Amino acid sequence: MFDRNSKSLREALAADYQGLAKRLTRCLGSADVAHETLHETFLKVDRVSDAVEIRSPVDYLFRIALNVAKDRNKKDRHLLSAGEVAAIMDVVDDRPDPAIVAESRMEIAEFQKALGELPQRRREVFIAAHLEQIPHRDIAQRFGINIRTVEFDIQHAMEYLSRRLGRRVVRRYGPRPKPRAVD
């Protein structure tokens, strides 16, 4: 059985549904949201006990509807919009695939092996210049050699490593080297 308040609220909602919908539409900015809110309000009416004194059932329903709309708005803030979900789904996975990772690891291992085959000073000069990015002048001082010898060691290390790894040396400046016989 319905309580007295629940019954009077249901009757008031049925009698002034369109009026409540118009008032809610003005407050909420959307007729669809207003109608959905009124449907949820209808469900909440069952919870109103007879202990509550209701002077104006229509005003009471309107306050319930506004509270329902506020609660719904709070819930909706925690949900992602369709645009946000689409943006998340469009995120590009820029991690390399396992095949590329394995290939890269093999190339690094080959490079390290070829680097180990260089004479010690030439290897250390190459590492200082290319990996540590130390200026040629400082490398020359470190090894007690002149700058031209540093450049010679770097050039020959690059040529050896490129041949060994099947790569081409790209010259940025300076004359092109004369073709040499392969060692």
> Mean pLDDT throughout 81-103?
76
The domains found in the chain, sorted by start residue, are: 4-89 (no CATH), 98-165 (1.10.10.10)
Whether 8 shows a pLDDT value over 60: the answer reads: yes
Mean per-residue pLDDT of the chain: 83
Rounded Cα distance between 16 and 58, Å, is 8
Which pLDDT score, from 0 to 100, does residue 146 have?
94
Q: What is the pLDDT of residues 140-177, one digit of tens each?
A: 999 999 999 999 999 999 999 999 988 887 666 545 55
Rounded Cα distance between 142 and 135, Å, is 11
Helices (H) and strands (E) in the chain, counts: 9, 0
Q: How far is CA 37 from CA 9, 30, 65, in A?
A: 15, 11, 6
> Mean pLDDT throughout 89-110?
82
Of 108, 106, 115, residue with least CA distance to 160: 115
Give the pLDDT band of residue 179 (cuts 50, 70, 90): low
Q: What is the pLDDT of residues 13-31, one digit of tens each?
A: 888 889 988 988 898 888 8
Token reading at 163: 């041949």
Give the pLDDT band of residue 60 (cuts 50, 70, 90): confident
Whether 33 shows a pLDDT value over 80: the answer reads: yes
- Which of the residue ranges 39-43, 52-56, 98-102, 127-131 would you say has the lowest mean pLDDT? 52-56
> Mean pLDDT throughout 35-39?
87
Higher pLDDT: 60 or 79? It is: 60
SS3 per residue for 83-148? HHHHHHHCCCCCCCCHHHHHHHHHHHHHHHHHHHCCCHHHHHHHHHHHHCCCCHHHHHHHHCCCHH
